[in-house]
Chain A
Amino acid sequence: MVAAAGLHDSAVRHIMGTDRMGRLHTMIPDTTAGTIRLEDAGAIMGGQTVWRHVTGSFRPGSMTAIAGANGTGKSTLLRAILGEVPLAHGTVTRGGLGPRDFGYLPQARIIDRGFPISVTDMVLGGAWQQTGLFGRADRTVRLRAANALHRVNLDGQAQRMIAALSAGQFQRLLFARLLMTDARVIVLDEPFTALDAPTTQDLLELVCEWHTQGRTIIAVLHDIHQIRTCFPDVVLLHDGQATWGRTPDILTPVILQRAYGGTRDRWADMPS
């Protein structure tokens, strides 16, 4: 059977300070470097508890899906991990990872797609941590940008303006930019929504590639089948709680029915 939270977690607990936003400001021992850990964490949005008593870890190189019905607080969980949302109680520690170690693809995009900027410049923006904000992008970085665009099948689009891209092409562009950040932890909020099957497949492969490179992946997904086939770990949010563990243990018909409703048969019939 599955424990409610922190099933497979044996990471050492650390006492550390976080500032008002929950951002980490103490270093921790090497043993857990790169581990993101939630310790009895709870979030309140707009006066309502979203989830509470969440405990668990994202180890370096792990690949975790976050699932749950609409409004269960998946995006809130990601933002808490990134330090964007203050915790109501508990702590989040980031194993010495700083903001620059995170690559983030938000769900509700506030990107101004009418802004006159070319695809190449947008991708180069992803490398600002390496080039500096003011420095010129040198040959190596430009080459990397070209490779990133090639990787997401946008070769021919490099000189176009972002306003001219389709929604799917634009999502590919955001992945290319994420490639440029070279982040150790990649946080994706419903990255495949509104994409067709081939594009989804392409980008999912890219995510898996990041995983094999040893990066930590945390992704909100709605497609249970996708989670089963690609994500070893899962956090399932429902009724203000998190069920956290190995995917086959968590995504059982019983638990899925509890989380999403519907009949147990519906979840039992799912291809797995």
Chain B
Amino acid sequence: MSILSVLWDPFASFGFMRRALVASMTLGMGAGPVGVMLQLRRMSLIGDAMSHAILPGAAVGFLLAGGLSLTAMGLGGIVAGLGVALLAGLVSRRTQLAEDASFASFYLTSLALGVLIVSARGSNIDLLHVLFGTILGIDASALCLMGGITTLSIALLSIIWRPLVMECVDPGFMRMTGGRGGIYHMVFLFLVVINLVAGFEALGTLMSVGMMMVPAATARLWTRRLLPMMVLSAATGMAAGLIGLLVSYHYGLAAGPSIILTCSVLYILSLVVSPAGLRAGRHVHETS
């Protein structure tokens, strides 16, 4: 078997592999840049918590639609994710808890609630699908949703780029000079939620955040400039999609975890060889 056929055959022979490839590339492209921003804002934990918050929403959608309906579950997920983002923002404003601490409390509640709802009505298979996704079972309508979300995400991100960056670096300056930074923060949280919802059909609620955080962490090791960092993060996610699918095909491994693990391997490799990684000696690389 030639190298070319190793790379080519799985996608040439099987429609589900082609759809899985497009899906993972699309997800990587959308989630990568958002993940970079999330990490730079020291909100990694919040991304994690939001991915769990989506679960009960999707579960309610699952109940209402009476099965695995992408639209119903996606909408439910968006509503629940945004709800939790707003609620946690409120809680942290009212109390002394930091935002990520308040997110962490919602996190487990949401997960438990979601699992409860799905397992009350659905089968164990349904539960597995919701938790871990079905990247090999993606259909055309799901691809359209992912494509739409990725497009919207990149477009919105480039529109709010400047105010968002300013809000990140120095929120006080924005506020004091009459800018309303809070709006961009909310738009950004919305982007996080829709990207997680896009990922959840393919990778499940638990792993979709991996496509967001791990490539971003990898990219941060290689460059110190924002735009290249985001591009690299997206590229890493896309590459992981391709490599992960090939590995899963040839070795008969589960596709979703293979993709995320590929992200992890790329991260570990970068940690070893990149200039900002372990080679930089004891100089602590500040991540959140």
| Given A103-B177, A104-B176, A104-B177, residue A112 in contact with residue B162 (CB < 8 A) | no
Q: A84-B176, A104-B176, A116-B40 are in contact. List 12 more A-B contacts (CB 8 A).
A: A99-B178, A100-B177, A104-B177, A106-B172, A110-B171, A112-B169, A115-B169, A117-B165, A117-B169, A122-B169, A129-B177, A133-B179
Q: A116–B179 contact, CB under 8 A?
A: no
A11 in the interface, Cβ–Cβ < 8 Å? no
- Distance of A125 Cα from B162 Cα, bound (Å): 8
| Given A111-B170, A161-B224, residue A102 in contact with residue B177 (CB < 8 A) | yes
Closest 4 CB pairs of A and B: A99-B178, A104-B176, A100-B178, A133-B163
| Given A116-B40, A161-B225, residue A134 in contact with residue B168 (CB < 8 A) | no
Q: Which of B162, B177, B226 gathers the greatest number of chain A CB atoms within 10 Å?
A: B177
User: 8 Å CB contacts to A: which residues of B176-216?
Assistant: 176-179
Contacts of A134 in B (CB 8 A): 159, 162-163
Q: Separation in Å of the B223 CB from the closest CB of chain A?
A: 8
User: 8 Å CB contacts to B: which residues of A158-193?
Assistant: 161-163, 177, 181, 183
Contacts of B225 in A (CB 8 A): 116, 118, 161
Contacts of A82 in B (CB 8 A): 176
- Distance of A184 Cα from B225 Cα, bound (Å): 33
30 A-B pairs, CB-CB below 8 angstroms?
A82-B176, A84-B176, A99-B178, A100-B178, A102-B176, A103-B177, A104-B176, A104-B177, A106-B172, A109-B172, A110-B170, A110-B171, A111-B170, A112-B168, A112-B169, A112-B170, A114-B40, A115-B165, A116-B224, A116-B226, A117-B165, A117-B169, A121-B165, A125-B173, A126-B173, A128-B162, A128-B177, A133-B162, A161-B225, A177-B173
A240 in the interface, Cβ–Cβ < 8 Å? no
- Distance of A62 Cα from B169 Cα, bound (Å): 31
Please report A residues at the B interface, Cβ cutoff 8 Å: 82, 84, 98-100, 102-104, 106, 109-112, 114-118, 121-122, 125-126, 128-129, 133-134, 161-163, 177, 181, 183
- Distance of A238 Cα from B177 Cα, bound (Å): 29
Contacts of A161 in B (CB 8 A): 224-225
The binding surface of chain B is classed by DSSP as helix
Please report B residues at the A interface, Cβ cutoff 8 Å: 40, 159, 162-163, 165-166, 168-173, 176-179, 224-226, 229, 286
> Which of A99, A112, A122 sits near B176, CB closer than 8 Å?
A99
Q: A110–B172 contact, CB under 8 A?
A: yes
Closest-by-CB residue of B relative to A82 is B176
User: How many residue-residue contacts, CB under 8 A, span A and B?
Assistant: 73
Q: Separation in Å of the B69 CB from the closest CB of chain A?
A: 37
Contacts of A125 in B (CB 8 A): 162, 165-166, 169-170, 173
Contacts of B229 in A (CB 8 A): 116
Closest-by-CB residue of A relative to B176 is A104
> Which of B40, B159, B173, B178 sits near A115, CB closer than 8 Å?
B40
Closest-by-CB residue of B relative to A164 is B224
Closest-by-CB residue of A relative to B164 is A133
Q: Separation in Å of the A185 CB from the closest CB of chain B?
A: 11
Contacts of A104 in B (CB 8 A): 172-173, 176-177
Q: A128–B179 contact, CB under 8 A?
A: yes
Q: B224–A111 contact, CB under 8 A?
A: no
Q: Which of A106, A117, A183 gathers the greatest number of chain B CB atoms within 10 Å?
A: A117
Q: Which of B40, B170, B224 gathers the greatest number of chain A CB atoms within 10 Å?
A: B170
Q: Separation in Å of the B222 CB from the closest CB of chain A?
A: 12
Closest-by-CB residue of B relative to A162 is B169
- Distance of A240 Cα from B168 Cα, bound (Å): 36
Contacts of A183 in B (CB 8 A): 177
Closest-by-CB residue of A relative to B36 is A116
- Distance of A181 Cα from B173 Cα, bound (Å): 11
- Distance of A181 Cα from B170 Cα, bound (Å): 15
Q: Separation in Å of the B169 CB from the closest CB of chain A?
A: 5
Q: Separation in Å of the A85 CB from the closest CB of chain B?
A: 12
Contacts of A122 in B (CB 8 A): 169
- Distance of A180 Cα from B71 Cα, bound (Å): 48
Q: Separation in Å of the B107 CB from the closest CB of chain A?
A: 24
- Distance of A114 Cα from B41 Cα, bound (Å): 10
Q: A98–B178 contact, CB under 8 A?
A: yes
